[in-house]
Copies of this chain bind each other. A is one copy, B any other.
Amino acid sequence: MIVTLTTDFGEKSGYVGVMKGVIYAMYSDARLVDISHYVKPQKVLEGAFLIQTIMRQFPPGTVHVAVVDPGVGTERHSIVLRVPEIGYFVGPDNGIFSYVIDAYPNLQARQITNQAFMRHPVSATFHGRDVFAPTAALLARGEDFEGVGELLDKTNLKQLENRWGSWSRTSLATLKGSIIHIDYFGNLITNIHQSLLAGKEYTVEQITGVGLRGRYIHLQKEGIETTYANAAPDEYIALFGSSGFLEFAKVNGRAADISASENDLYNATVSVTFR
Protein backbone atom coordinates (compact mmCIF):
# COMPACT_ATOMS: atom_id res chain seq x y z
CA MET A 1 0.00 0.00 0.00
CA ILE A 2 1.15 3.56 -0.73
CA VAL A 3 2.26 5.98 1.97
CA THR A 4 2.73 9.61 0.91
CA LEU A 5 4.87 12.07 2.86
CA THR A 6 4.41 15.85 3.06
CA THR A 7 6.62 17.81 5.47
CA ASP A 8 8.54 21.02 6.06
CA PHE A 9 11.74 19.07 6.79
CA GLY A 10 13.64 19.82 3.58
CA GLU A 11 15.79 17.13 2.06
CA LYS A 12 19.17 18.10 3.49
CA SER A 13 19.01 16.50 6.88
CA GLY A 14 17.98 12.89 6.72
CA TYR A 15 14.80 13.51 8.75
CA VAL A 16 12.69 12.14 5.91
CA GLY A 17 15.06 9.23 5.40
CA VAL A 18 14.70 8.30 9.05
CA MET A 19 10.91 8.29 8.74
CA LYS A 20 11.25 5.97 5.75
CA GLY A 21 13.52 3.64 7.72
CA VAL A 22 10.93 3.45 10.49
CA ILE A 23 8.16 2.71 8.00
CA TYR A 24 10.11 0.01 6.14
CA ALA A 25 11.13 -1.62 9.43
CA MET A 26 7.44 -2.10 10.30
CA TYR A 27 6.09 -2.72 6.80
CA SER A 28 8.68 -3.81 4.28
CA ASP A 29 6.27 -3.71 1.31
CA ALA A 30 5.42 -0.02 1.69
CA ARG A 31 5.44 2.12 -1.47
CA LEU A 32 6.65 5.53 -0.38
CA VAL A 33 5.89 8.68 -2.37
CA ASP A 34 7.36 12.07 -1.49
CA ILE A 35 4.83 14.81 -2.11
CA SER A 36 6.88 17.75 -0.84
CA HIS A 37 9.38 18.35 1.92
CA TYR A 38 9.67 22.03 1.06
CA VAL A 39 6.59 23.41 2.76
CA LYS A 40 7.76 26.76 4.10
CA PRO A 41 8.79 25.94 7.67
CA GLN A 42 5.76 25.95 9.94
CA LYS A 43 3.35 27.24 7.24
CA VAL A 44 0.57 24.83 8.07
CA LEU A 45 -1.71 26.41 5.44
CA GLU A 46 0.75 25.61 2.65
CA GLY A 47 0.92 22.01 3.83
CA ALA A 48 -2.87 21.88 3.89
CA PHE A 49 -2.99 23.19 0.32
CA LEU A 50 -0.58 20.50 -0.90
CA ILE A 51 -2.61 17.75 0.77
CA GLN A 52 -5.67 19.16 -0.97
CA THR A 53 -4.04 19.02 -4.39
CA ILE A 54 -2.97 15.39 -4.10
CA MET A 55 -5.67 13.75 -2.00
CA ARG A 56 -7.83 12.61 -4.93
CA GLN A 57 -4.92 11.43 -7.09
CA PHE A 58 -3.92 8.17 -5.39
CA PRO A 59 -5.48 4.71 -5.31
CA PRO A 60 -8.00 3.99 -2.54
CA GLY A 61 -6.38 2.87 0.70
CA THR A 62 -3.43 5.26 0.42
CA VAL A 63 -2.09 6.63 3.70
CA HIS A 64 -1.21 10.33 3.54
CA VAL A 65 1.21 11.54 6.23
CA ALA A 66 1.58 15.29 6.78
CA VAL A 67 4.06 16.76 9.25
CA VAL A 68 4.14 20.54 9.48
CA ASP A 69 4.08 20.75 13.20
CA PRO A 70 5.16 23.91 14.99
CA GLY A 71 3.32 22.67 18.07
CA VAL A 72 5.26 19.41 18.43
CA GLY A 73 5.88 18.75 22.09
CA THR A 74 2.78 20.64 23.23
CA GLU A 75 -0.59 19.11 24.04
CA ARG A 76 -1.95 19.27 20.46
CA HIS A 77 -3.44 15.94 19.43
CA SER A 78 -1.91 13.45 17.02
CA ILE A 79 -4.69 12.20 14.77
CA VAL A 80 -5.77 9.86 12.02
CA LEU A 81 -8.65 10.73 9.69
CA ARG A 82 -10.31 7.93 7.78
CA VAL A 83 -12.08 8.75 4.50
CA PRO A 84 -13.46 5.53 3.00
CA GLU A 85 -13.05 6.53 -0.66
CA ILE A 86 -9.44 7.74 -0.14
CA GLY A 87 -7.73 6.03 2.77
CA TYR A 88 -6.09 7.65 5.79
CA PHE A 89 -4.59 11.00 6.79
CA VAL A 90 -2.02 10.93 9.61
CA GLY A 91 -0.57 14.01 11.32
CA PRO A 92 -1.03 16.68 13.97
CA ASP A 93 -4.45 18.21 14.68
CA ASN A 94 -3.36 21.71 13.78
CA GLY A 95 -5.37 22.49 10.65
CA ILE A 96 -3.17 20.70 8.14
CA PHE A 97 -6.18 18.60 7.14
CA SER A 98 -8.52 21.60 6.88
CA TYR A 99 -9.44 20.96 3.25
CA VAL A 100 -9.92 17.24 3.87
CA ILE A 101 -12.39 18.01 6.63
CA ASP A 102 -14.30 20.42 4.38
CA ALA A 103 -14.44 17.94 1.51
CA TYR A 104 -15.35 14.77 3.37
CA PRO A 105 -18.07 15.19 6.01
CA ASN A 106 -18.22 11.40 6.17
CA LEU A 107 -14.75 11.11 7.69
CA GLN A 108 -13.98 9.51 11.03
CA ALA A 109 -11.28 10.88 13.33
CA ARG A 110 -9.27 9.13 16.03
CA GLN A 111 -6.59 10.37 18.38
CA ILE A 112 -3.35 8.37 18.30
CA THR A 113 -2.98 7.12 21.86
CA ASN A 114 -2.17 3.42 21.48
CA GLN A 115 1.48 3.02 22.47
CA ALA A 116 1.78 0.14 19.97
CA PHE A 117 1.40 2.70 17.17
CA MET A 118 4.48 4.63 18.39
CA ARG A 119 8.24 4.18 18.40
CA HIS A 120 9.72 4.42 21.88
CA PRO A 121 10.97 6.48 23.54
CA VAL A 122 8.74 9.16 21.98
CA SER A 123 10.88 12.29 21.61
CA ALA A 124 9.58 15.79 22.26
CA THR A 125 10.75 17.14 18.89
CA PHE A 126 10.30 14.45 16.23
CA HIS A 127 6.81 12.96 16.16
CA GLY A 128 7.25 12.38 12.43
CA ARG A 129 9.62 9.58 13.34
CA ASP A 130 8.08 8.44 16.63
CA VAL A 131 4.32 8.75 16.12
CA PHE A 132 3.25 9.48 12.54
CA ALA A 133 5.62 7.14 10.66
CA PRO A 134 4.81 4.06 12.78
CA THR A 135 1.08 4.78 12.72
CA ALA A 136 1.17 5.16 8.93
CA ALA A 137 3.17 1.94 8.54
CA LEU A 138 0.70 -0.05 10.62
CA LEU A 139 -2.39 1.32 8.85
CA ALA A 140 -0.81 0.73 5.43
CA ARG A 141 0.02 -2.81 6.56
CA GLY A 142 -3.64 -3.39 7.32
CA GLU A 143 -3.96 -2.87 11.07
CA ASP A 144 -7.43 -1.85 12.21
CA PHE A 145 -8.26 1.85 12.38
CA GLU A 146 -10.04 1.13 15.66
CA GLY A 147 -6.73 0.25 17.27
CA VAL A 148 -5.27 3.74 16.87
CA GLY A 149 -7.11 5.29 19.80
CA GLU A 150 -10.44 6.78 20.74
CA LEU A 151 -12.87 8.48 18.35
CA LEU A 152 -12.76 12.27 18.30
CA ASP A 153 -15.68 14.63 17.81
CA LYS A 154 -15.22 15.85 14.24
CA THR A 155 -16.58 19.28 15.07
CA ASN A 156 -13.64 19.87 17.37
CA LEU A 157 -10.97 19.22 14.76
CA LYS A 158 -8.82 22.26 14.12
CA GLN A 159 -9.40 24.08 10.84
CA LEU A 160 -7.49 27.08 9.52
CA GLU A 161 -9.53 30.29 9.37
CA ASN A 162 -7.88 31.62 6.24
CA ARG A 163 -8.16 28.56 4.05
CA TRP A 164 -10.69 30.01 1.61
CA GLY A 165 -10.69 33.37 -0.10
CA SER A 166 -14.07 35.09 -0.21
CA TRP A 167 -16.13 37.91 -1.64
CA SER A 168 -15.23 41.26 -0.20
CA ARG A 169 -17.74 42.65 2.28
CA THR A 170 -17.40 46.14 0.88
CA SER A 171 -17.60 45.28 -2.82
CA LEU A 172 -19.58 42.52 -4.45
CA ALA A 173 -17.20 42.81 -7.41
CA THR A 174 -14.05 41.93 -5.46
CA LEU A 175 -12.64 38.64 -4.27
CA LYS A 176 -10.18 38.80 -1.37
CA GLY A 177 -7.63 36.15 -0.55
CA SER A 178 -3.99 35.34 0.09
CA ILE A 179 -1.10 33.45 -1.42
CA ILE A 180 -0.82 29.92 -0.09
CA HIS A 181 1.85 28.42 -2.31
CA ILE A 182 4.70 29.57 -4.56
CA ASP A 183 5.85 26.89 -6.95
CA TYR A 184 9.23 26.26 -8.61
CA PHE A 185 8.12 28.25 -11.67
CA GLY A 186 7.48 31.23 -9.40
CA ASN A 187 3.73 30.98 -9.92
CA LEU A 188 1.68 32.48 -7.09
CA ILE A 189 -1.18 30.24 -6.04
CA THR A 190 -4.01 31.80 -4.06
CA ASN A 191 -6.75 30.47 -1.81
CA ILE A 192 -9.42 31.81 -4.20
CA HIS A 193 -11.25 28.79 -5.54
CA GLN A 194 -13.18 28.68 -8.79
CA SER A 195 -16.21 27.32 -6.92
CA LEU A 196 -16.78 30.90 -5.69
CA LEU A 197 -17.80 31.73 -9.26
CA ALA A 198 -19.77 28.57 -9.91
CA GLY A 199 -23.33 29.10 -11.05
CA LYS A 200 -22.83 32.84 -11.24
CA GLU A 201 -23.23 34.76 -14.43
CA TYR A 202 -20.23 37.02 -14.59
CA THR A 203 -17.87 38.71 -16.96
CA VAL A 204 -14.32 38.91 -15.84
CA GLU A 205 -13.10 42.31 -16.93
CA GLN A 206 -9.98 42.91 -14.95
CA ILE A 207 -7.91 41.21 -12.31
CA THR A 208 -5.84 43.83 -10.57
CA GLY A 209 -3.80 41.21 -8.85
CA VAL A 210 -1.44 40.98 -5.96
CA GLY A 211 -1.23 43.93 -3.62
CA LEU A 212 2.14 44.08 -2.00
CA ARG A 213 3.59 47.23 -0.49
CA GLY A 214 1.92 49.24 -3.19
CA ARG A 215 2.98 46.97 -6.04
CA TYR A 216 0.45 45.33 -8.29
CA ILE A 217 0.42 42.78 -11.01
CA HIS A 218 -1.37 44.38 -13.93
CA LEU A 219 -2.71 41.88 -16.38
CA GLN A 220 -2.02 42.85 -19.97
CA LYS A 221 -4.90 40.72 -21.08
CA GLU A 222 -8.26 40.87 -19.42
CA GLY A 223 -9.90 37.74 -18.21
CA ILE A 224 -8.74 34.39 -16.99
CA GLU A 225 -6.63 32.22 -19.24
CA THR A 226 -6.99 28.49 -19.59
CA THR A 227 -3.35 27.81 -20.39
CA TYR A 228 0.05 29.47 -20.17
CA ALA A 229 0.44 29.27 -23.93
CA ASN A 230 -2.30 31.82 -24.64
CA ALA A 231 -0.24 34.85 -23.70
CA ALA A 232 2.95 36.52 -24.90
CA PRO A 233 6.29 36.25 -23.08
CA ASP A 234 6.62 38.45 -19.97
CA GLU A 235 2.87 39.00 -19.71
CA TYR A 236 1.26 38.38 -16.35
CA ILE A 237 -1.72 36.08 -16.54
CA ALA A 238 -4.22 34.63 -14.11
CA LEU A 239 -5.68 31.16 -14.43
CA PHE A 240 -7.40 28.51 -12.38
CA GLY A 241 -4.77 25.82 -11.83
CA SER A 242 -5.21 22.08 -11.99
CA SER A 243 -6.68 21.99 -8.47
CA GLY A 244 -9.14 24.84 -9.02
CA PHE A 245 -7.36 27.65 -7.19
CA LEU A 246 -6.62 30.97 -8.89
CA GLU A 247 -2.95 31.49 -9.67
CA PHE A 248 -0.84 34.26 -11.14
CA ALA A 249 1.93 33.48 -13.58
CA LYS A 250 4.39 35.46 -15.67
CA VAL A 251 4.78 33.84 -19.07
CA ASN A 252 8.36 32.60 -19.48
CA GLY A 253 9.22 34.32 -16.20
CA ARG A 254 8.65 34.22 -12.48
CA ALA A 255 5.67 36.10 -11.06
CA ALA A 256 7.28 35.68 -7.63
CA ASP A 257 10.07 38.03 -8.69
CA ILE A 258 7.82 41.05 -8.11
CA SER A 259 9.07 40.81 -4.53
CA ALA A 260 12.55 40.16 -3.18
CA SER A 261 10.94 38.59 -0.12
CA GLU A 262 9.06 35.32 -0.16
CA ASN A 263 7.78 36.22 3.30
CA ASP A 264 6.12 39.35 1.94
CA LEU A 265 4.38 37.31 -0.73
CA TYR A 266 3.04 34.82 1.79
CA ASN A 267 1.71 37.73 3.84
CA ALA A 268 0.23 39.67 0.90
CA THR A 269 -3.46 40.24 0.34
CA VAL A 270 -4.84 39.39 -3.07
CA SER A 271 -7.75 41.31 -4.59
CA VAL A 272 -9.44 40.26 -7.79
CA THR A 273 -11.99 42.65 -9.21
CA PHE A 274 -14.80 41.94 -11.62
CA ARG A 275 -17.01 44.32 -13.49
Contacts and interface: CB of A to CB of B under 8 A. Distances in A.
A110 to B, nearest CB: 23
Contacts of A16: 34
Interface in A183-200: 183-186
Contacts of A41: 184-186, 254
A24 B59 contact: yes
A34 B28 CA distance: 16
A11 B37 contact: yes
How many copies the complex holds: the figure is 3
A73 B14 CA distance: 28
A71 B233 CA distance: 12
Contacts of A167: none
A6 interface: yes
A261 interface: no
Give the residue among A10, A20, A39, A129 with the most B Cβ atoms within 10 A. Answer: A20
A11 B10 contact: no
A18 B126 contact: no
Contact of A25 (B14, B25, B34, B58): B58
A20 B58 CA distance: 8
A134 to B, nearest CB: 12
A124 B227 contact: yes
